[in-house]
Structure 1
């Protein structure tokens, strides 16, 4: 059956029936259409915290600025991939966190929020990268947040609390996964860890090749397991990275990490499985930072481009594109100036986090206006600037990934008049999310699945189940 006919006669025809019974067992999730060959490799791509509006706005931005589609939505426009919706709930809540969400893929079982492949009674579910490693494949993760963060960890290890990232770093040590790259120096450096353990030394003694900057990463060669750590915590937002030559020279992009990991892991004759995470998409959504969100989603889409280019040439690679959950439900909303307002993002130079860190107690409204104008090319009013300054004197705005207590919500509210982008909240949502696949095994996907279904689907696609 041709792919176009599959979309018309298979996926769409079964959509209604599947939606009425979304909680099927994995045996029913697999499409009865014969598989178009087994996948030797899998590239599993996660734009963490990507609400549908995030995917849409990145595509709109690329269309308006460059006259092209995103790589992800290009698959839809050209009917070259298989598309589904996914239910993201955890064992403890309709609204998952990233640990439980990644564990649903990694261990194939829903666990409580905050847990990594450990059930409520302490039962451990073997993570999928350990299964693939035992089968002889090269395995690894790359991310724009700490490599010890919830999403990569959910594919790799078992631990009761996602917050113990120092322990997660230790749990990685004996696994000797082929490529692990991202941020997270805070959890490897003796100078940063509370217990003063030098995890870099431990990884070196255990035969790892340790790289700490982009130049070292670009010079990597296969042969030893790789630990790449390029920032204390998360990597910088793409907006800020684009404006800083030093960051560009020292911190690789997600696309560069993806391309490097693929090139190294592809040397394994039995194939590879790689997880790629755009983790700062989630952090931007938590901060209601629309500029950072759009540019980091585009950076993730560039990594998709690397994965698809390899998969098209290779012919043996399944590419999975999805998110673990929605976050804050951003969207472009109607106004008489919606088009022009949205186009303001084309002139953004810095994230809201960067801008707000340049503002200090005692600054004048005029200086605040100038700072925002220089960084984002929008001119707020004196009253709005004064309102923003109040937060530096009296208001303590906390929030996830906001250790500096910056007034992120207030700036987002002010910006809506100038960008036409609004937000539903600053937290995860229970939305069903986008899921797309390309390559051998993609025809195993039905139009509506549970997150846990992907665990066995990957095993089926590679002939391991």
Structure 2
């Protein structure tokens, strides 16, 4: 088979995969010069180009340094391209379909995890790499059972089957899995009342539930780390709250720990790193949360690149699964001054809105925004926010019906950040690579092509491709 045929369409990679998952024939790799022993695949979920842009501006002017991602472009360290993110049934993908394109090598319908339009079940890519003897795992700031990590790991008709996905992970015994989602492991929250935490302990996992336990773990057993009931706190809220900083690991800390453990494997490792709450912040038009979670993700990129620069057998892939809400810094006579408020912001919109209740006075609302976001709301703006607690609001990842979209409209006058909407977009997205195999990357890539690309970069036998 010619190499160009590998990428001709997404369905090629599904043919015959069902019986190949743990075949001994897959346990070896082709020994060639210039192969990737390790892959670190970093995903800032829901990152529009404006998010990358604004985070770089913030870092340059607050910290006096560019973002790692833009610095890699500036110094021509990485190969750069654009990626088409469509799913099997829409120009606009969700995270399950986008991740499955990478994880299974074919486009699937929105909401599905590696289940093709005709019922195909491609073997997820981390199962393939595990069968080759590599250490594999995922770290994320959302539930470890959420769409993006799950898309590299399992086959399921619904991304919402997170209790079932938590059970799948127990069987798969991947090497390092770190994130949130305790509600899908806890007997008090699961419908079947099964104690998955205890099941993981009894079957030889190192179960870690806080930052100290994670950092102190020896890494001599498979590790499952679950640090929040659902998603982890936004980075800006974690950094402001000493108790959260002490108990909850950051994305760069989880990334470093995973690399430390997995790099001990002589056959190498494949790690997916997801800044999942960048997407949640974009859905909520939450500027402070968005920018500081993107900064947190950028620190994880820095850690991955530091490892790769010292290990020339490591391929680093940096991208996003889709755009979301297309935020940007827009022109006004006070754009610079307005944006500078973000340098001193202490809390996400989510945190602030959760402090407010209908009994708050207007002065209490205004004082809260001045203290935590340096925003001097007008009386009528405070009134509008309070009124929204009487009628409620809608939005993804918004169980408390908080007025995210309304607040973002008010904030734009003070920050000069504006939003195109509250959901995913069909934008072509940034794709960057460094290390062995990156020289073969085209300037324009379809998302499903990355599946075979990663396998080929590691010199996997052809059985893994088709």
* 1:447 aligns with one of 418, 443, 447: 443
Q: Which residue of 1 aligns with 2:301?
A: 304
Q: Which residue of 1 aligns with 2:416?
A: 420
SS at match of 1:62: helix
1:400 aligns with 2:399: no
1:103-142 aligned at under 5 Å gives the runs 103-142=100-139
1:399-425 CA distances to partner (integer Å, 9 max, x unpaired)?
A: 100000000011100000000000000
8 Å Cα contact 1:36-1:440 kept in structure 2: no
1:94 aligns with 2:77: no
SS at match of 2:60: helix
User: Which moved further from structure 2: 116-125 or 133-142?
Assistant: 116-125
Equivalent-residue separation in structure 2 for 1:448 and 1:259 (angstroms): 30
Structure 1 unmatched ranges of 5 or more: 1-23, 30-34
SS at match of 1:142: strand
1:383 aligns with 2:375: no
1:325-404 aligned at under 5 Å gives the runs 325-393=322-390, 395-404=391-400
8 Å Cα contact 2:278-2:293 kept in structure 1: yes
* 1:257 aligns with one of 254, 258, 264: 254
1:238-258 CA distances to partner (integer Å, 9 max, x unpaired)?
A: 110011111111100000000
8 Å Cα contact 2:78-2:432 kept in structure 1: yes
Aligned-pair CA distance for 1:27: 4.7
1:198-223 CA distances to partner (integer Å, 9 max, x unpaired)?
A: 01111112211100000000011222
SS at match of 1:131: helix
8 Å Cα contact 2:7-2:452 kept in structure 1: no
Structure 2 unmatched ranges of 5 or more: 10-31
8 Å Cα contact 1:281-1:297 kept in structure 2: yes
**Aligned residues, how many?**
436
1:144-172 CA distances to partner (integer Å, 9 max, x unpaired)?
A: 00000000000000000000100110111
Q: Which residue of 2 aligns with 1:146?
A: 143
SS at match of 2:278: helix
Q: Which residue of 2 aligns with 1:435?
A: 431
Q: TM-score if structure 2 supplies the norm length?
A: 0.92
1:72 aligns with 2:89: no
Equivalent-residue separation in structure 1 for 2:61 and 2:189 (angstroms): 44
8 Å Cα contact 1:325-1:433 kept in structure 2: yes
Equivalent-residue separation in structure 2 for 1:27 and 1:167 (angstroms): 32
Q: TM-score if structure 1 supplies the norm length?
A: 0.92
Equivalent-residue separation in structure 2 for 1:193 and 1:385 (angstroms): 40
Q: Which residue of 1 aligns with 2:188?
A: 191
8 Å Cα contact 1:43-1:273 kept in structure 2: yes
Q: Which residue of 2 aligns with 1:4?
A: none
